[in-house]
């Protein structure tokens, strides 16, 4: 018995210049926000950008994008992701809405292979993949199915988050292409830059802490908050990973 999907994944992704995997073994560090901001930053630099949410049990990118529930992928020799805020965005939320899905590892693996096999990113230049927290199936699948993907770790400026970064490096160092760390919720001059550099990692930059972010997004919209608080920090990060 042969699973045909694995054979076509490379063909689906090979035209994309770079694939960035946003990861952290710790939850609540802002991977989803960073993934979305990066995709908008690439978009603003004029690149055709895609964003794939592979948190299958608890997808959340669509909530920040506040997408219209009637939006669905277009069926054309597979599925073409809709464009949301100027970004080609793929998520299983198109199919399940806000329903929860409890999944075992084998199911997660199957969903990931299926999405990669049937999604057509067409002329997308850069693809950002938002991953769920943890060191589980999604990261193992990424290392197997997209070994050329470039991993960006997200951390908060605190000891717990840095410890989880160290764990990830210990496990995945030789299995993934780790290109650096973004510090989220930066609050003070210097932050954890030196600590990251001392860990032999590249410090890609920071995104500042913004108080009551949810309220601000509700008031000004994601695009408004992005432009007001975040966009100026992204060009430096993006230029360091291009």
CB of 161 to another protein, least distance (A): 31
Q: Nearest approach, Cβ of 119 to another protein (angstroms)? A: 8
* Sole window of 15-23, 30-38, 73-81, 82-90 interacting with another protein (rule: CB under 8 A): 73-81
Tokens of 215: 């309220």
| β-bridge mates for residue 18, sequence order | 126
Task: Name 139's Cβ contacts closer than 8 Å, sequence gap at least 6.
Answer: 23, 131, 172, 176
Which part of the chain contacts another protein (CB under 8 A), choosing from 93-101, 129-137, 204-212, 214-222? 93-101
Residues, the chain, total? Answer: 242
Q: What is the DSSP letter of 82?
A: P
* Cβ proximity of 142 and 6 under 8 Å: no
52 scored as a contact of another protein (CB under 8 A): no
Tell me the number of residues near another protein by CB under 8 A. 32
CA–CA distances in Å: residue 179 to residues 15, 146, 151, 171: 21, 15, 6, 15
Please, which residue, 80 or 171, has the CB nearer to another protein? Answer: 80
In this structure, what are the phi and psi dihedrals at residue 170, rounded to the nearest 5 degrees?
-60, -40
- Binding-site member from 18, 47, 82, 120 for another protein (CB under 8 A): 120
Contact between 143 and another protein per CB under 8 A? no
User: Interface residues for another protein in 100-119 (CB under 8 A)?
Assistant: 100-104, 106-107, 110-111, 114-115, 117-118
Decide if residue 76 touches another protein (CB under 8 A): yes
Judge residue 171's burial from the number of C-beta atoms within 10 Å of its C-beta, 0-12 exposed, 13-18 middle, 19 or more buried. middle
Binding residues vs another protein (CB under 8 A): 1-8, 11, 75-79, 92, 95-96, 99-104, 106-107, 110-111, 114-115, 117-118, 120
């Amino acid at each position: 018995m042969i699973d045909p999907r694995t054979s076509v994944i490379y063909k689906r992704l090979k035209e994309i210049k770079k694939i960035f995997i946003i990861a952290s073994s710790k939850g609540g560090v802002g991977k989803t926000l960073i993934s979305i901001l990066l995709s908008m930053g690439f978009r603003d630099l004029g690149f055709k950008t895609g964003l794939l949410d592979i948190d299958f049990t608890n997808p959340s990118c669509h909530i920040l994008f506040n997408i219209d529930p009637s939006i669905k992928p277009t069926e054309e020799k597979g599925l073409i992701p809709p464009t949301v805020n100027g970004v080609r965005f793929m998520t299983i939320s198109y199919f399940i809405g806000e329903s929860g899905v409890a999944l075992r590892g084998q199911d997660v693996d199957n969903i990931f292979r299926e999405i990669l096999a049937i999604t057509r990113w067409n002329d997308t230049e850069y693809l950002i993949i938002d991953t769920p927290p943890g060191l589980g199936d999604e990261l193992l699948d990424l290392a197997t199915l997209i070994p050329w993907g470039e991993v960006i770790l997200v951390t908060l400026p605190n000891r717990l988050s840095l410890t989880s970064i160290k764990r990830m490096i210990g496990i995945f160092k030789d299995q993934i292409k780790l290109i650096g760390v973004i510090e989220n919720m930066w609050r003070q001059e210097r932050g954890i830059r030196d600590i990251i550099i001392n860990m032999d990692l590249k410090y890609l930059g920071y995104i500042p802490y913004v108080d009551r972010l949810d309220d601000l997004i509700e008031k000004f919209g994601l695009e408004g908050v992005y432009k007001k608080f975040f966009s100026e920090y992204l060009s430096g990060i993006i230029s360091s990973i291009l």
